[in-house]
Structure 1
Amino acid sequence: MRTADCISLGTPSTIMGKSQDHPSGAENFTWDEKEWEMSEKYKPDVVKMVPVDDELLKTIPFKAVVKKIAVAEKGSAGLNPPWEVSCTNRMADCNRIVKPFHFAYNEYDGRRHTWNLVFEAYELGDLRTWRNKNFGWRDSVKVSKVLPEAHLWRFLVHMTQALAVMHDQKGSTHKHRGTLLHSDIKPDNILVADNGSAYPSFRLHDFDFATVAHGRQDRRAPAFCGTFVWHPPEAPYVKTTWADVWAVGASLHWLAFGEKVVPPMSANWMDDLAEEDREIALKFRKRYATEQKFYDALGPRIVSPINLGKPSRIAEKHPEFTRFFEPLYRPKYSDRLNFWMMECLKFDPAERVTVDRLMKEMVPEARAVVLDLGGDAALTDFDLVFL
């Protein structure tokens, strides 16, 4: 089977291949645009496709796919598969990383080369869609269900396992692969997978901003990519494993409360920054296209504990968020879940928990907690599995 790293280049119309990660039964999948029609547009370059007739369903193992148009480099370099393909193929196939299972050259429009990347469709959607539909707000109406704690533990475990594959090269046989940094972990880039139980699985995708780090991480090299509001306090120095860990913790915080760790922008927000942080902000101000992006990247981060009831939150002066002028309901979760979230959200990156420690200490603890909360069903697809 050919991978993105070893494709024999022919004429543009014949360049295609398959990633090593694919749904069972999709090994011989071929992409024919005429056999599919768009059912939903996620972004201008990302659409959900369904078969035009039932006959195709008999030959493929899925009811829908997601097609992404990837822009490759200019010139002859654009005939090489795009970065997302070669990046994901550096990682071992597993149940925590989403890879395109088919890719094919699309066209050259005189300015750039484009490729079709085909992914399995996840019917439960991304983390934001799934949470808002089931545990958040729908059409300005509050959904009363509280997100079970077992789901939060499973989320933290699954994202830790994804980071272990990326950062620690778990399961990799790729020589000199280096440490992969995602740099854009957020609810929109985490897919929710139906595993047949009441406890869904979570998978990381969208590696457009991923980079490879070899050797010692450079904590003083600024970067201006990804979604700024999920960046850590040390932004713009975010091309590190510490930044990915922060983003997982910030996503867990959002999953629990429905609010980001970055509060709404105030008119005089820079006055509240420490002098050192204010100097950094002023130094890089021109690198951000808008005042909002500047604030999202370098504004204050406010982390609220998730193990406090309302009286304790008020007593400790934690902010109360509102939506449609109604205070947001904040469920109270366990002290241990809060402990691990806070370890991910340490403001000093040197003190932030490592993926290795999460794997060795948090994951075994989570297993016991999840089993107690939901029984054997809650352990469905709990472990990291290499395919």
Structure 2
Amino acid sequence: LLEASGLSNGIENYSRYLTGRAPGEPPPTLFEFIPDNAIVFADESHVSVPQIGGMYKGDYRRKFTLAEHGFRLPSCMDNRPLKFEEWDAMRPQSVFVSATPAAWELEQAGGVFTEQVIRPTGLLDPMIEIRPVEMQVDDLLDEIRRVSADGYRTLVTTLTKRMAEDLTEYLHEQGIKVRYMHSDIDTLERIEILRDLRLGAFDVLIGINLLREGLDIPECGLVAILDADKEGFLRSETSLVQTIGRAARNQDGRVIMYADRITGSMERAMRETERRREKQIAYNEEHGITPATVKKNVDDILAGLYKGDVDMNRVTAKVDNPLAGGNLQTVLDGLRTDMRKAAENLEFEEAARLRDEVKRLEAVDLAVADDPMARQQAVDRAVDAAQKASGRSTSGRGGMRGGNVKRRKR
């Protein structure tokens, strides 16, 4: 087939024969092209390092079943990711970065590592409160109202999908602008949801295992961990420390754990947070630093994503620092003011961009108020419908008589 057409679907499964490798030999990978004097950085290494080992094991189990039942030749299992041991032997100098390093990284470092506890903004790790599980939802509702009144956002993490959905519905019925972040959303949808949260389209975001690494929300004033005493993967020391860290971008950030007892994971997570907090307080006092909330523009990083080579300054809508952290009405008023200023300065492209952003946020606010568990695709459709519905009148233009056409025909 290769000689006749030059193409054979699935031939990569049998690349061992084409490259002349012996059974069990590692396949050629891009990792081989990294020079010996390079430095490899593994960010969030407590997650990324186990994934390297998981790639081979997952690929092996899938292909073993296919080969066992005759759908593939056994040699297909040699077209695979690197085993963890192979990757470990091939990697050059490496730096593993994590707020919660796992046992393997600490073992490789031999107890010698660099700790970055002090933040440039002087921010401290958040205070942690423990409250009883009984009446946790009503207590959380009171806290959400208090935090929202201060212009901050709330992150809530639950144990199960059912509990997240029920809590979302209950808070929605109580008049809270809330949204549930599904586990099956992709990265781009997640970025849109977090951006709308920061801009105030809703005040509360509920998730299960998504409110962890990479969530940088300076407007977050409260992180609530429900059923924190249920020991397991979602309430391990690593998970708790990572979740607690989501409140560390705001000088008023707090964490509330709802638990009837203190588990080993909770105790270790609180001890580690307190250890860091003591170091940060001592450093700030020594150098006269006052903690300040991170000031970070809310950039629409999705704008122009699919437009190819364009000037990003012309397609990126952003909200300046003074507006970030306020409620939705504050943000909208600020955007409208900027829109009018841009129009007065004859910057019509900028004014049109700001106008579209106002319409988008209003549409998101309505969509979330209608269905807090709506998928991002449904919210996007509502935004598109709102923008299309606000068409311009043709009355008074050349060739138009004006007035209501339907009424005139009667």
TM-score (norm 2): 0.25
TM-score (norm 1): 0.26
Greater share of helix: 2
Larger radius of gyration: 2
